[in-house]
Amino acid sequence: MEIKKEKVPKGKRSVIGFDFGTKSIGLAIGQEITATASSLGAVKANDGIPNWDDIAVFINEWQPDLLVVGLPLNMDGTNQDLTFRAKKFANRLHNHFRLPVETQDERLTTADARARLFEQGGYKNLAKGKVDGMSACIILESYFEAMWE
């Protein structure tokens, strides 16, 4: 499925962020102009492969200009098995939707997401889908921050 859009200048793009996981993939929508992101929740995955129709629902609704996939690295910045799987997911996203895809270092985003959600509502706020969606928000926020450095 290919979405045809006019090219939007960098700094004004709408972006969907992904927190890749083997059982669940978090999503968030963000705007470069405000450098903010909001969780869209998560979709189920089977060994890292989502139902692409589930992802298409978000792509069709939000019409993003760019997709950003979190890249899980070891703390020393080296690759791990999940790094390669996230890159493969990024390539598949590009092939399915013909949108530009970039990756963003996501070290510690899950811990940060849990802390933010706990602050907002305690343990009851730590459901898996909520954590994955919040992780996707943090990935997008760090991408926006790195853009302007």
pLDDT tens, 17-50?
A: 999 999 999 999 999 999 999 999 999 999 999 9
Confidence at residue 1, expressed as pLDDT on a 0 to 100 scale = 46
User: Higher pLDDT residue, 120 or 105?
Assistant: 105
**Which structural domain, as residue segments, surrounds residue 59?**
14-147
pLDDT at 7 over 80: no
Task: Tell me how many domains the chain contains.
Answer: 1
pLDDT at 112 over 70: no
Within-domain flag for 21: yes
Which of these, 149, 137, 67, 148, lies nearest to 102 by C-alpha position? 67
Helix (H) or strand (E) holding 114: helix 109-121
CA distance 27 to 35: 16
CB 48 within 8 A of CB 99: no
Confidence at residue 65, expressed as pLDDT on a 0 to 100 scale = 96
Within-domain flag for 116: yes
- Give the CA angle between residues 41, 105, 83 to the nearest 5°: 85
Which CATH number is 76's domain given? 3.30.420.140
Within-domain flag for 6: no
User: Higher pLDDT residue, 1 or 71?
Assistant: 71
User: pTM to 2 decimals?
Assistant: 0.84
Q: Which residues pair with 17 in a beta bridge?
A: 28, 68
Within-domain flag for 4: no
